[in-house]
Structure 1
Amino acid sequence: MIDLSTNDTASKNLRVREFYLGRQPILDRNQALFGYELLFRNAPVGPANIDSDLGATASVIAHAAQLGMEKVIGDALGFVNVDADVIMSDIFGFLPREKVVLEIVETMEATPEVLRRMAELVGHGFSFALDDVLAETGQVQTLLPMIEYVKMDMRNTPLPVLMKLAPRFKQDGKKLVAEKVETREEFKNCLDLGFDYFQGYYFAKPVIMSGKKLSPSQLAVMELMTLVTSDAENAEIERAIKRDVSLALNLLRLVNTPAVGARQRIDSLSQAVTILGRRQLQRWLQIMLYAEPSKRGHSMTPLLMLATTRGRLLELLAHKLRPSQRNVADTAFTVGIMSLMDTLFGIPMSEILTQIPVNDEVQDALMYRGGFFGDLLKLAECIEQIEDMEGHIVPTLRDLAMSTDELVELEMAAFEWSDNVVRYAL
Structure 2
Amino acid sequence: MIDLTLHDTGPRSLRVREFYLGRQPILDRNQTVFGYELLFRNAPVGPAHITNELSATAAVIAHASQLGMEKTIGDALGFVNVDADVLMTDIFSFLPREKVVLEVAESMPLTPQVLARMTDLAGHGFRFALDDFSGDGANLAALLPLTDYVKMDLRALPPSTLARLAPRFQQDKKKLVAEKVETREEFKSCLDLGFDYFQGYYFSKPVIMSGKKLSPSQLAVMELMTLVTSDADNQEIERAIKRDVSLALNLLRLVNTPAVGARQRIDSLSQAVTILGRRQLQRWLQIMLYAEPSKRGHSMTPLLMLATTRGRLLELLAGKLRPSHRHVADIAFTVGIMSLMDTLFGMPMAEILAQIPVNDEVSQALLHRAGFFGDLLKLAECIERIEDMDDQIMPALNDLAISTDELVELEMSAFEWSDNVVRYAL
> For the residues of structure 1 that align with 2:339 and 2:50, how far apart are their CA atoms?
31
Across the two proteins, how many residue pairs are aligned to each other? 417
In the alignment, is the contact (CA less than 8 A) between 2:107 and 2:137 conserved in 1? Answer: no
Task: Tell me the secondary structure at the aligned position of residue 415 of structure 1.
Answer: helix
Letter in 2 for 1:377: L
Determine whether 1:96 maps to 2:96: yes
> For the residues of structure 2 that align with 1:319 and 1:56, how far apart are their CA atoms?
31
Q: CA deviation at 1:10?
A: 4.3
Matches within 5 A, 1:77-226: 77-226=77-226
What are the Cα deviations for residues 312-337 of structure 1, in whole angstroms up to 9, with x where unaligned?
A: 00000000000011201110000001
> For the residues of structure 1 that align with 2:239 and 2:258, how far apart are their CA atoms?
26
After TM superposition, the structure 1 stretch with the greater mean CA deviation from structure 2, 209-218 or 294-303, is: 294-303
Which position in structure 2 is the counterpart of 1:278?
278
Which position in structure 2 is the counterpart of 1:241?
241
| Change in CA separation of 1:262 and 1:171 when aligned onto 2, cut-off 3 Å | same
Which position in structure 2 is the counterpart of 1:3?
none
Which position in structure 2 is the counterpart of 1:329?
329
Which position in structure 1 is the counterpart of 2:370?
370
Task: Tell me the secondary structure at the aligned position of residue 144 of structure 1.
Answer: helix
Task: Tell me the secondary structure at the aligned position of residue 327 of structure 1.
Answer: helix
| Change in CA separation of 1:217 and 1:11 when aligned onto 2, cut-off 3 Å | farther
Task: Tell me the secondary structure at the aligned position of residue 232 of structure 1.
Answer: coil
Letter in 1 for 2:144: L
Letter in 2 for 1:421: V
Which position in structure 2 is the counterpart of 1:361?
361
In the alignment, is the contact (CA less than 8 A) between 2:148 and 2:174 conserved in 1? Answer: yes
Letter in 2 for 1:247: L
TM-score (ref. length: structure 2): 0.94
Which position in structure 1 is the counterpart of 2:24?
24
Which position in structure 2 is the counterpart of 1:299?
299
> For the residues of structure 1 that align with 2:79 and 2:294, how far apart are their CA atoms?
26
> For the residues of structure 1 that align with 2:411 and 2:144, how far apart are their CA atoms?
35
In the alignment, is the contact (CA less than 8 A) between 2:206 and 2:344 conserved in 1? Answer: yes
Q: CA deviation at 1:138?
A: 2.4
Q: CA deviation at 1:268?
A: 2.3
In the alignment, is the contact (CA less than 8 A) between 1:17 and 1:63 conserved in 2? Answer: no
Q: CA deviation at 1:248?
A: 1.6
Q: CA deviation at 1:356?
A: 1.6
What are the Cα deviations for residues 80-116 of structure 1, in whole angstroms up to 9, with x where unaligned?
A: 0000000011111000001100001111011111000
What are the Cα deviations for residues 64-86 of structure 1, in whole angstroms up to 9, with x where unaligned?
A: 11111111011111000000000
In the alignment, is the contact (CA less than 8 A) between 2:50 and 2:56 conserved in 1? Answer: no
> For the residues of structure 2 that align with 1:377 and 1:27, how far apart are their CA atoms?
24
5+ residue gaps, structure 2: none
After TM superposition, the structure 1 stretch with the greater mean CA deviation from structure 2, 54-63 or 10-19, is: 10-19
What are the Cα deviations for residues 231-280 of structure 1, in whole angstroms up to 9, with x where unaligned?
A: 22222212211222221222122111110112232232222222211110
After TM superposition, the structure 1 stretch with the greater mean CA deviation from structure 2, 251-260 or 389-398, is: 251-260
Which position in structure 2 is the counterpart of 1:266?
266
In the alignment, is the contact (CA less than 8 A) between 1:14 and 1:62 conserved in 2? Answer: no
> For the residues of structure 1 that align with 2:53 and 2:6, how far apart are their CA atoms?
19
> For the residues of structure 2 that align with 1:79 and 1:324, how far apart are their CA atoms?
39
Q: CA deviation at 1:14?
A: 6.2
| Change in CA separation of 1:358 and 1:69 when aligned onto 2, cut-off 3 Å | same
TM-score (ref. length: structure 1): 0.94
List 4+ stretches of structure 1 deviating above 6 A. Answer: 11-15
